[in-house]
Amino acid sequence: MTLDTTAVTGTDVVLSVRDLSVVYDGADPVRAVRDVSFDLARGEVLGIAGESGCGKSTLAYAITRLLKPPGRVASGEVVFHPADGPPVDLSTLHGEPLRRFRWNRVAMVFQGAMNALNPVLSVRRQLADVFTAHRPELRRAEREERCRELLDLVGIGPERLSAYPHELSGGMRQRVLIAMAMALRPDVVVMDEPTTALDVVVQRDILEEIDRLRARFGFAVVFITHDLSLLLEISDRLAVMYGGRIVEYGRAADLHAAPAHPYTVGLLRSFPRLRGERTVLHGVPGSPPDLSRPLTGCAFTARCPYVFDACHHTDPSLRVAGTTRAACLHYDPALRPDGPPEALRAGRFDSGPAECAVEEAGGDPPVDTTGRQPRREAAEPPQASTDPVTAQAESAPERDGAAPETGPWPPTGGGTR
Amino acid sequence: MRYLRRKALFYLVAVWAAVTLNFLIPRLIKGNPVDAVLAKTQNMTPMSPEARRALELQFGVSDDPLWQQYLGYLGNLLRGEFGLSVAYYPTPVSKVLSQSLPWTVVMVGIATVLSVLLGITLGMLAGWRRGTWLDALVPTTTFLAAIPYFWLALVLLYLLGGVLGWFPLNSGYSYETTIGFNWPFLRSAIYHGILPAASIVLASVAGWLLGMRNMMVSTMAEDYVLTAEAKGLRPGRIMVQYAARNAVLPSVAGFAITLGFVVSGSIATEIVFSYPGVGMSLVAAVANADYPLLQGIFLVISLAVLGANFVVDLLYAVIDPRTRQAG
């Protein structure tokens, strides 16, 4: 496992996560994060992508020790390497040392458009709180000065110090949160969907702000979002999560150019390209696995168009797959001596157990829908067909013929290539 | 400041409406106080029209047009004259009120404030330390609240006052002392007030505790509490400034309503403990069809409710900046 993701060996690592697993206890314990390992280099941006429920935020909370019961770290470790001094295992910190560690070394930016700011305290109080908690030696005037500087950093006038969160726009609130994270010049900033609720123009400003601050202070960023296209743009390295695991990990450019895992392929095809040819948009049909049930094989089997026998009983771990690392059995030379199928290497995700042509491409009707039959899948009915009777009639024979979930590789049916 | 002006204006209108209703309602009720007094004094001999007229004038019954009566009523109010009480005839209503009101306001007021403070503090702690022994406070206090109040009060009075003899059985003070600002009187008043006040606290603390605890639990799931924790703030500060300050808002609104009803007194409390407050006067007024006294009490109650709401509105604006701006 360790070998898999320590792609940054030789560089200066600031945070290393090893085999981290998180369980939400209950009648059916949910294994929300399973054996996640990665290294965060000083000053780099690591993007963590994945759809809702894949464990992204849980991972962030586990790293920052913010998990609340019934959530708990079941195994693994998170080690922080300060520039000066010995490494710190975060799981050994408790009480006062943990409190002091927080924000000093690892700060966090939450989704500010919602309610990450306390509605009943002024911006000044909330910024100054950081200093009273961590720099008690500062005098009142010095604290005030620091707070002004912080707002200035993110381009907000000092008169806003007296404002309350409800008097600020969503973008401003997000800036305040970013300013707050900068207060103690941390080494790592974990950002959990910091731009999700903002419109694209504000989103762009915020991202530029983060980039500028990072260039200035040199902190590393763990950027969590479901927006893969955004991550491809801003990240140095990318981890794609699925079902509580990292299923693909690599440099953002490599991952974009040659995605290895079928899930990454599917995600990359679920947003429109601004330039280049028009293509049909595909989602990744189906929904994430129920992590409260034991998984025997790969978590992605139910939605994977490239599924084969071994997928049902072997849970793959990350291994070299071209330029990235992927947790997919197609890259296991023992099982697949000839390498992954051609279609996967070409980045196709169109022979899946179900398809949906998403009509989002700039309002234009999708081209190239002729010859495609919408097929039905229990979890997510195709959106293309509105008449259930017709859809049923069309899909029934297809289903009988192709049965891609269990059929041999390569699937013979489908007829989309 | 604009907020304050708007609020003040609103309350002035509300006071005017309360005063006017208080004028109209008794005049819409059948019968008049003179008949009530005559019935009470059991005057069997027929009364001369002159004597009856004199009584009518005393009670303010007149044949003047309504608007003239209304103006006269407003004038009397400003002078603090509510007329004569039937139940305590011939004591003026204002005197009855000034004798009973302080007892209720001080005793029930202190009990209510104590109950709210205690309930909110314990609720905050129980919510913050959810799942620990503090959470056992919830069923314990709810049990006390579930007992019918008059029964709880009677048991307290019987056990602590009667059997153990720790507390007096009735009255608001010892008759050996003279009412006034002197130590023996104050001491006896406090001594007499403890048991009734304690019974009110015991019976009402559960509601505050439960409400606060549950609000605390849901507020603690908010992102800003998580942010505060991530910021490495001290737990005490997170609990008070981030969680409790937001969680307390509904309780403040509830407090406003309760505070207003302090004046009407806890009738059950005053009866069980024979406490000389407004509640007792109210019961006496109802029993004797004492309209002037009822009118006086109702007016004071409505003014108190409005006044308490005004104060809490201001308090609300201090703890929640969002209300300051609204409108």
Distance CA B204, CA B198 (A): 10
Task: Using a pLDDT cut of 70, give the percent of chain A over it.
Answer: 77
Angle at B245 between CA B242 and CA B251, to 5 degrees: 145
Of B234, B235, B322, nearest to A119 by CB-CB distance is B322
What is the DSSP track for B217-258? HHHTTSHHHHHHHHTT--HHHIIIIIIIHHHTHHHHHHHHHH
Q: Which residues of B touch A122 (CB under 8 A)?
A: 321
In which residue ranges of chain B is CATH 1.10.3720.10 found? 94-325
Secondary structure letter of residue B264 according to DSSP = T
Contact A239, A249 (CB under 8 A): yes
Residue pLDDT tens, chain B, 327 long: 777 888 889 999 999 998 888 888 777 776 666 776 677 666 556 677 787 777 777 666 666 777 888 888 888 888 877 777 877 877 888 888 888 888 888 888 899 999 999 999 999 999 998 888 888 888 888 888 888 888 888 898 888 888 888 888 777 777 777 777 788 888 888 888 889 899 989 888 988 999 999 999 999 988 899 999 999 999 999 999 999 999 998 888 888 778 777 776 678 888 888 888 888 888 888 887 777 888 888 888 888 888 888 888 888 888 888 877 654
The answer to whether the Cβ–Cβ distance between A118 and B322 falls below 8 Å is no
Give the pLDDT mean for A276-298: 75
A108 interfacial to chain B (CB closer than 8 Å): yes
Name the amino acid, one letter, at A325. R
How many CA atoms, within 13 angstroms, populate the side-chain half-sphere of residue A251? 7
Q: Are strands A220-225 and A237-242 parallel, antiparallel or unpaired?
A: unpaired
Nearest CA in chain A to B322: A166
Q: Which residues of B touch A118 (CB under 8 A)?
A: 224, 227-228, 241-242, 245-246
Determine the pLDDT at residue B260: 74
Q: How many CB pairs under 8 A join A and B?
A: 81
Quickly tell me which residue has 């004492």 as its tokens.
B290
The answer to whether the Cβ–Cβ distance between B232 and A108 falls below 8 Å is no
The answer to whether the Cβ–Cβ distance between A66 and B242 falls below 8 Å is no
Helical (H) or strand (E) element with A61: helix A56-63
The answer to whether the Cβ–Cβ distance between A102 and B232 falls below 8 Å is yes
B319 interfacial to chain A (CB closer than 8 Å): yes
Lowest-confidence segment of A41-55, A61-75, A134-148, B176-190 by average pLDDT? B176-190
Q: Which residues of A touch B219 (CB under 8 A)?
A: none
Nearest CA in chain A to B245: A120
pLDDT per residue over B59-86, tens digit each?
666 667 778 888 888 888 888 777 778 7
Determine the pLDDT at residue B161: 85
Nearest CA in chain A to B249: A120
Greater confidence, A172 or A388?
A: A172
Of A103, A116, A164, nearest to B223 by CB-CB distance is A116
Determine the pLDDT at residue B4: 81
Q: How far away is chain A from the Cα of B229, in angstroms, using its nearest Cα?
A: 8
A197 interfacial to chain B (CB closer than 8 Å): no
Give the pLDDT mean for A332-355: 73
Determine the pLDDT at residue A136: 92
Determine the pLDDT at residue B118: 94
The answer to whether the Cβ–Cβ distance between A120 and B231 falls below 8 Å is no
A114 interfacial to chain B (CB closer than 8 Å): yes
A67 interfacial to chain B (CB closer than 8 Å): no
Name the amino acid, one letter, at B56. E
Q: Confidence band (pLDDT; 50, 70, 90) for A176? A: very high
Nearest CA in chain A to B318: A120
pLDDT per residue over A227-269, tens digit each?
888 898 899 999 999 988 999 999 999 998 888 888 888 888 7
B199 interfacial to chain A (CB closer than 8 Å): no
Q: Confidence band (pLDDT; 50, 70, 90) for A410? A: very low
pTM score, whole prediction:
0.74
Determine the pLDDT at residue B278: 86
Q: How far away is chain B from the Cα of A248, in angstroms, using its nearest Cα?
A: 29
Q: How far away is chain A from the Cα of B122, in angstroms, using its nearest Cα?
A: 22
**What share of residues in chain A are helix, strand, coil (percent, to 5)?**
35, 20, 50
Distance CA A264, CA B231 (A): 34
* Count of H-run helices and E-run strands, chain B: 16, 0
Of B229, B233, B321, nearest to A120 by CB-CB distance is B321
Angle between helices B249-260 and B291-319 (to 10 degrees): 160
Q: How far away is chain A from the Cα of B219, in angstroms, using its nearest Cα?
A: 11
B245 interfacial to chain A (CB closer than 8 Å): yes
A104 interfacial to chain B (CB closer than 8 Å): yes
Q: How far away is chain B from the Cα of A377, in angstroms, using its nearest Cα?
A: 36
User: Does A360 score more than 70 pLDDT?
Assistant: no
The answer to whether the Cβ–Cβ distance between B231 and A129 falls below 8 Å is yes
Q: Are strands A45-49 and A237-242 parallel, antiparallel or unpaired?
A: parallel
Distance CA B113, CA B125 (A): 18
User: Does A366 score more than 60 pLDDT?
Assistant: no
Q: Are strands A245-251 and A324-326 parallel, antiparallel or unpaired?
A: antiparallel
Q: How far away is chain A from the Cα of B1, in angstroms, using its nearest Cα?
A: 17
Determine the pLDDT at residue A277: 64
Distance CA A187, CA A104 (A): 8
Determine the pLDDT at residue B59: 67
Task: Using a pLDDT cut of 90, give the percent of chain A over it.
Answer: 34
A116 interfacial to chain B (CB closer than 8 Å): yes
Determine the pLDDT at residue A404: 39
The answer to whether the Cβ–Cβ distance between B232 and A134 falls below 8 Å is yes
Pick among A61, A98, A118 to test the B interface (most B CBs inside 10 A): A118
Pick among A57, A67, A115, A129 to test the B interface (most B CBs inside 10 A): A129
pLDDT per residue over A148-157, tens digit each?
999 999 999 9
Greater confidence, A211 or A11?
A: A211
Distance CA A345, CA B322 (A): 56
Of A64, A111, A114, nearest to B230 by CB-CB distance is A64
Determine the pLDDT at residue A113: 58
Name the amino acid, one letter, at A147. C
The answer to whether the Cβ–Cβ distance between A116 and B241 falls below 8 Å is no
Q: How far away is chain A from the Cα of B158, in angstroms, using its nearest Cα?
A: 47
Of A101, A115, A166, nearest to B224 by CB-CB distance is A115
What number of other Cβ atoms are within 10 A of residue B143's Cβ? 10
A64 interfacial to chain B (CB closer than 8 Å): yes
CATH superfamily of B94-325: MetI-like (1.10.3720.10)
Name the amino acid, one letter, at A205. D
Task: Using a pLDDT cut of 90, give the percent of chain B over it.
Answer: 18
User: Does A374 score more than 50 pLDDT?
Assistant: no
The answer to whether the Cβ–Cβ distance between A66 and B226 falls below 8 Å is yes
What is the DSSP track for A73-137? EEEEEEEE--SSS--EEGGG--HHHHHHHBTTTEEEE--TTSS-S-TTS-HHHHHHHHHHHH-TT
The answer to whether the Cβ–Cβ distance between A118 and B246 falls below 8 Å is yes
pLDDT per residue over A108-143, tens digit each?
998 765 688 999 999 999 999 999 999 999 999 999
The answer to whether the Cβ–Cβ distance between A111 and B231 falls below 8 Å is no
pLDDT per residue over A377-409, tens digit each?
333 444 444 444 433 444 434 334 333 333 344
